[in-house]
A and B are shown apart, each in its own frame.
Chain A
Amino acid sequence: GIQVEQSPPDLILQEGANSTLRCNFSDSVNNLQWFHQNPWGQLINLFYIPSGTKQNGRLSATTVATERYSLLYISSSQTTDSGVYFCAGRGGNMLTFGGGTRLMVKP
């Protein structure tokens, strides 16, 4: 199956700072999704982005499928952005998740 690597594994930001999270895939994926797991454990869909760029408020994502990577941008971070960010790619029918980036935003 495909391997998914996320970087950095941990990130501490001051409120208001910007950040970029990266996701690399070992092989082509059919779909790509970004999730935020909040402190209560819920997995919240951020983006479904097999290719191209999408924006949703302070968050945006870009996937370059031909180079097998995706980026998640968080601008003007807030304390509520804290949690773990996962990317996941579909090879076959299953989603393979990366190890996540644990983000802490300090006030």
Chain B
Amino acid sequence: DSGVTQTPKHLITATGQRVTLRCSPRSGDLSVYWYQQSLDQGLQFLIQYYNGEERAKGNILERFSAQQFPDLHSELNLSSLELGDSALYFCASSPRGGEGGYNEQFFGPGTRLTVL
């Protein structure tokens, strides 16, 4: 158990819908990262938040957005869902923002999203 929790474990929805994925980081970690794992794209970084602020952006679509709340949990919002958004979405957390020093990332169990 990495200490990172994600809900829900599975999500099945229809095209055009909107869903919210939730993540709680390990105790004491200030950074939260979101990744998408699909069969054709592999594991891809989406976005990072550090202590409530957006820190880095990767290959995140405009239909997707995220935020980190004062208690440091994070939510990833996916809207206007398409078939191609079906994937495993991981959240990870780390102690720091990435400025240097030890910053190991630990991953949650993931949310498997299926868009029908």
Contact = CB atoms under 8 A, between A and B. Distances in A.
Interface in A51-107: 86, 88, 90, 92-97, 99-100
Interface residues of A, number: 21
Contact of B100 (A30, A86, A88, A96): A30
B42 A93 contact: no
A33 interface: yes
Given A93-B48, A93-B98, A96-B45, A31 B104 contact: yes
- A interface, over-half SS: strand
A94 B45 CA distance: 7
Interface in B11-25: none
B88 A41 contact: yes
Contacts, number: 51
Task: Assign chain B's interface to a size class.
Answer: 20 to 34
Given A95-B45, A97-B43, A41 B103 contact: no
Contacts of B92: 95
Interface pairs A-B: 10 shortest CB-CB: A93-B56, A93-B98, A94-B45, A97-B43, A43-B107, A48-B104, A94-B58, A93-B48, A94-B56, A42-B109
Interface of A: 30-31, 33, 35, 41-45, 48, 86, 88, 90, 92-97, 99-100
Interface of B: 2, 33, 35, 42-45, 48, 55-56, 58, 88, 90, 92, 97-98, 100, 102-107, 109-110, 112
Given A43-B90, A93-B98, A96-B45, 18 more contacts: A30-B98, A30-B100, A31-B103, A31-B104, A33-B105, A45-B104, A45-B106, A45-B107, A48-B102, A48-B104, A90-B103, A92-B56, A93-B48, A93-B56, A94-B33, A94-B48, A94-B56, A97-B44
